[in-house]
Copies of this chain bind each other. A is one copy, B any other.
Amino acid sequence: MPRPTIQDVAARAGVSRALVSLVMRGSPKVSERRREAVLRAADELGYSPHLMARSLASRTSHVLGVMVSDLHNPFWAEVVDGLDARARAAGFELVINTGGRSPARERQALTGLLSFRPAGIALLGPVLPAAAISAAAAHTPLVLVSRSSRLSTVDTVNDDGRVGSALAVDHLVSLGHKEIAHIDGGNGSQSAPRRTGYLAAMRRHGLPPRVVRGEYTEAAGAAAVRQLLEPAPPTAVLAANDLNAVGAISALEAAGLSVPRDVSVVGYDNTWLAALRHVALTTVDQPRDEMGQLAATALLQRVRDGRADPARHLLAPRLVVRRTTAAPRRR
């Protein structure tokens, strides 16, 4: 059975389609009597407006698209919370999608979002080529989270990865570490600035850097550690993110090394995973909820307020010391 339309509600309430439309949009210029009749009819029929017919007719969109690069990473769930809250408050519907950390799937996901003709799109940690991003930006306001861009039509929300890595390295150095390795995020978004920050900090302390290629996953953290064991493990590891760190810790313990007694580990993100008591991961905090809110706000400003110049939010990361870092053991 087909869903009831505005026409059905109008017929039942004994009014015109236009009046039902006004009631549904909360117009003040409707008499109390009619409003009640319409609402009752709508309720009885189980009517809810057809969002897409609405946006087609009104030539506006009340949809924001969100592409999440990895639904498995709790980090994004927390960013989405912030986005969702803001979008909801502004009367926008969120359409979420996932790109599975693969450029090809992300491209599909982006095309999918565009086909809804959303008012704006947030790309959370995209690994898409820049060309795909600028093509999409030609027709729709775009905000990137955890990825930078120089396009003037694209807003960005990032934490300062260089600073975050430096905080972590400085902390480890202050504990006495000299052999500090970095598992990077590979092609993942924001892995470059974090790596750069690590390299710069190591140079500043006069220490030899050691980088292994990784990915923002637990499995990649474990794999990277297996590489790091030869010829000799470092005394500290700066992981690509929390997920990666947890995988690294698992692999270290599997190799008979204890954390933090033998090896210190620092994560990145400060998700709930890091806060778990028996993970207790020292990590670099990103204000996840705030980042989501800023992303939503950036889109809303373009859509509602007509802002045209790009917003560039660069947030200050913060080190959270827990129990996976300690002074290195005397060798």
Contacts and interface: CB of A to CB of B under 8 A. Distances in A.
Interface string A92-108: 01111110100000001
Interface residues of A, number: 52
Contacts of A250: 276-278
A249 B277 contact: yes
Nearest to A114: B48
Nearest to A71: B77
Interface stretch (A50-58, A157-165, A201-209): A50-58
A94 B93 contact: no
A115 B50 contact: yes
Interface string A2-35: 1100000000000000000000000000000000
Given A3-B117, A48-B114, A94 B94 contact: no
Nearest to A140: B3
Contacts of A46: 135, 138-139
A80 interface: yes
Given A52-B53, A52-B56, A71-B81, 13 more contacts: A46-B139, A48-B111, A48-B114, A50-B56, A71-B71, A71-B80, A74-B74, A94-B97, A116-B116, A246-B276, A249-B277, A251-B277, A278-B278
Interface of A: 1-3, 46, 48-53, 55-56, 71-72, 74, 77-78, 80-81, 84, 88, 93-98, 100, 108, 111-112, 114-117, 135, 138-140, 218, 246, 249-251, 253-254, 272-273, 276-279
